[in-house]
């Protein structure tokens, strides 16, 4: 079907709840063309793919035509690598099971691989980021929610059904904080996400109602994780305590993950990592405290160094290099 | 060095805290010769190896000589697959780091592989047990302690240092029951082991001191997990409650493990599984309750069908078939 070409480029697409970002990536991991469309505009998946196709045409033109493209890699919430489907993603408008890889393969005439967004980020780190050359690591994304991608023996762990690595939903405080999205009590995501940080801040403000805090200058419903961070940086005691508490719970979970797959490194990624040492120090301390001695002082706990949008695009594009050659 | 032979046999050795059991195993997983020596008799590892060598000579004779043996596989507590060492095993008399695979290789003139006992059991299940043909599963051994072996993509997960799969030491009740061996609070092993079951029974007896129980016929220091089981089978309410509670905690942990590696099956093994449905039913109910919907009603939770001593020998011997041919 395709004319012969160098096939030195891969398209990386990251489908987020709000925006879809994409890039044309070369073999060295340089993004040669970037673009974005809205994810929310179309109820009909066919119309969405149509718009995405149009938006990608200039990117394909830019590198000399489709014969130079090896394939397409997609990272998406609830993306299933085995089936190339998006399954029951709560934050997308398309309900049920969407055979996205198939649809795209037909539309673009290019082999297409799909995985969940945190797995894509892990692949990105392995090929172009701080995990280069590391065969055993765990990627944790700390954003609105908590996602994860697990690499062992140099391979992503997909599990028998493609859904491995939902570490944000593991229970760390049995009977603990309710998670409205899942109905679970005490899952990691209820504490170590941006949403969790805000809930902790409000809980602490209520519990210590006599204590002064810069956070009290804001109406409760307006407090977000950025405000908590800024107040903490200004020395606010309650805001600092929020990070200490978040780190303590996150670190305990990380210790559990280490005793599962014994990774060389854990890579933290996403909005919450902007807090830097405020989050990293208590997390590290709590992780070490909860590890068996044979695991202590061995695991590198580091932040991703890739730009957020880039990591997603790079990770998705990296899937392409693992596709079978045609 | 060696004369040519069929090399159709593998020696499997399981080093336990009390006894060392071994078998000569053929390619189909039939144990053709069995034996055992005491693990505790010798403070000096060289003397222990000497005795083990002598005990194995009739086994080697039995299958026609050493030229028919492919190699030796060993399962041992704190066994490190990468280094062939036993490292700081608290229940063995040999302290520090023991280069056991090297010592045996020299003594027997046979390639030797070593791994920890739970990993060996997982390999045994994969080759000869209920996990035959399954590429993603977790083996949990419920004995005096709680051990684990994790298989993903058809491979054992060793981690970067060979110590992956210490699931018994993951924290499930933060700030919970103290584990005298590790100093941790609330680790799975403090609840879901034979020791944990006894502690739960005594706690429940103390807490409900007005409630009649068959367990009260025994001095507290004599209660063991077998007694708790027998009382539960006779309908004793407190003893039954012990299993319900143990299953609830174990099931919650299993849910967390499923959300890590999404296995097709979890295989339970070891003394505690003699309790059968008493343990299995509440464990399964709790696991399902704590899983995200996408994981529910997918994971097979089953007991091992291998005889306990055999599983260990078979698992250890199975390591040999993965050794490079000489």
Interface residue A255 vs chain B (CB under 8 A)? yes
Interface residue A136 vs chain B (CB under 8 A)? yes
pLDDT for position A77 = 86
Residue-wise pLDDT for B42-80, tens only, equals 999 999 999 999 999 999 999 999 999 999 999 998 899
**What is the rounded distance in angstroms from the CA atom of residue A8 to the CA atom of residue B90?**
54
pLDDT for position A324 = 58
Name the H helices within B208-236. 225-233
Tell me: pLDDT of B95 over 90.
no
Residue B322 gets the label, from left (phi > 0), alpha (psi -120 to 50) or beta, of: alpha
pLDDT for position A221 = 95
Listed by number, the residues of chain A in 163-202 with a beta carbon closer than 8 Å to a beta carbon of chain B are 163-167, 169-174, 182, 184
Are residues B159 and A261, on separate chains, in Cβ contact within 8 Å? yes
**What's the angle, vertex CA B187, arms to CA A256 and CA B305, rounded to 5?**
90
Interface residue B256 vs chain A (CB under 8 A)? yes
pLDDT for position B1 = 46
- Contacting residues of A for B294, CB less than 8 Å apart: 78, 87-88, 161, 163, 166
Q: Distance (Å) from the C-alpha of residue B169 to the closest C-alpha of chain A?
A: 7
Whole-number mean pLDDT of chain B? 93
Are residues A152 and B159, on separate chains, in Cβ contact within 8 Å? yes
pLDDT for position A95 = 86
pTM as predicted: 0.91
pLDDT for position A117 = 87
Q: Distance (Å) from the C-alpha of residue A136 to the closest C-alpha of chain B?
A: 6
Burial of B181 (C-beta count, 10 Å sphere; 0-12/13-18/19+): middle
What is the block-wise mean pLDDT of chain A (326 residues), using blocks of 10 residues? 73 91 94 95 94 97 96 93 89 90 96 92 90 96 92 95 95 96 94 96 97 96 96 97 98 98 96 95 98 95 87 90 64
State what percent of residues in chain B have pLDDT above 90: 81
**What is the rounded distance in angstroms from the CA atom of residue B51 to the CA atom of residue B69?**
19
pLDDT for position B324 = 58
Q: Over A172-213, what HEC string results?
A: CCCCCCECCCCCCECECHHHHCHHHHHHHHHHHHHHCCCCCC
Q: Which of B77, B83, B162, B170 to mutate to test binding with chain A, by most A CBs within 10 Å of its CB?
A: B170
Average of per-residue pLDDT across B211-230: 96
Q: Over chain A, what HEC string results?
A: CCCCCCCCEEEEEEECCCEEEEEEEECCCCEEEEEEEECCCCCCHHHHHHHHHHHHHHHHHHCCCHHHEEEEEEEECCEECCCCEEECCCCCCCCCEECHHHHHHHHHCCCEEEEEHHHHHHHHHHHHCCCCCCCCEEEEEECCCEEEEEEECCEECCCCCCCCCCHHHCECCCCCCECCCCCCECECHHHHCHHHHHHHHHHHHHHCCCCCCHHHHCCHHHCCHHHHHHHHHCCCHHHHHHHHHHHHHHHHHHHHHHHHHCCCEEEEECHHHHHCHHHHHHHHHHHHHHCCHHHCCCCEEEECCCCHHHHHHHHHHHHHHCCCCC
Q: Distance (Å) from the C-alpha of residue B64 to the closest C-alpha of chain A?
A: 38
Interface residue B158 vs chain A (CB under 8 A)? yes
- What ipTM did this prediction achieve? 0.91
- Contacting residues of A for B149, CB less than 8 Å apart: none
Tell me: pLDDT of B97 over 90.
yes
Residue-wise pLDDT for B282-304, tens only, equals 999 999 999 999 899 999 999 99
Interface residue A209 vs chain B (CB under 8 A)? no
Q: Distance (Å) from the C-alpha of residue A219 to the closest C-alpha of chain B?
A: 33
Q: Which residue has the tokens 């904080």?
A: A177
- Contacting residues of A for B179, CB less than 8 Å apart: none
pLDDT for position A326 = 43
Phi, psi of B169 (to 5 degrees): -100, 5
Listed by number, the residues of chain B in 54-83 with a beta carbon closer than 8 Å to a beta carbon of chain A are 78
Cβ neighbours for A106, distance < 8 A, ≥ 6 positions apart: none
pLDDT for position B326 = 43
Q: Which residue of A has its CA nearest to B183?
A: A292
Select from A153, A163, A255 the Cβ nearest to the Cβ of B294.
A163
- Contacting residues of B for A174, CB less than 8 Å apart: 172-173, 252
């Amino acid at each position: 079907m395709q004319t012969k070409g160098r096939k030195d480029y891969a398209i990386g697409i990251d489908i987020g709840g709000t925006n879809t970002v994409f890039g044309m990536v070369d073999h060295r991991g340089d993004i040669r063309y970037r673009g974005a469309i809205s994810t929310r505009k179309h109820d009909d998946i066919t119309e969405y793919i149509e718009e995405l196709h149009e938006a990608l045409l200039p990117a394909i033109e830019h590198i000399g035509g489709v014969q130079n493209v090896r394939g397409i890699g997609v990272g998406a919430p609830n993306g299933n690598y085995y089936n190339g489907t998006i399954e029951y993603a709560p934050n997308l408008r398309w309900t049920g099971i969407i055979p996205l890889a198939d649809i795209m393969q037909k539309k673009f005439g290019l082999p297409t691989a799909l995985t969940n967004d945190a797995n894509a980020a892990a692949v990105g780190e392995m090929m172009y980021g701080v995990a280069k050359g590391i065969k055993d690591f765990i990627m944790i994304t700390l954003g609105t929610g908590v996602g994860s991608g697990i690499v062992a023996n140099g391979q992503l762990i997909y599990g028998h059904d493609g859904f491995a690595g939902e570490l944000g939903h593991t229970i760390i405080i049995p009977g603990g904080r309710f998670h409205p999205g899942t109905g679970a009590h005490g899952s990691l995501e209820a504490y170590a996400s941006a949403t969790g940080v805000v809930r902790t801040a409000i809980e602490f403000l209520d519990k210590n109602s006599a204590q002064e805090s810069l956070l009290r200058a804001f109406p409760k419903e307006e407090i977000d994780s950025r405000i908590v961070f800024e107040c903490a940086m200004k020395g606010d005691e309650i805001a600092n305590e929020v990070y200490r508490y978040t780190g303590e719970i996150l670190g305990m979970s990380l210790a559990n993950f280490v005793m599962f797959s014994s990774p060389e490194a854990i890579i933290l990624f996403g909005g919450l990592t902007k807090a830097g040492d405020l989050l990293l120090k208590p997390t590290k301390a709590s992780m070490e405290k909860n590890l068996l001695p044979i695991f202590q002082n061995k695991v590198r706990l580091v932040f991703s160094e890739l730009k957020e949008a880039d990591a997603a695009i790079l990770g998705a594009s990296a899937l392409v290099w693992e596709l079978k050659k045609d």
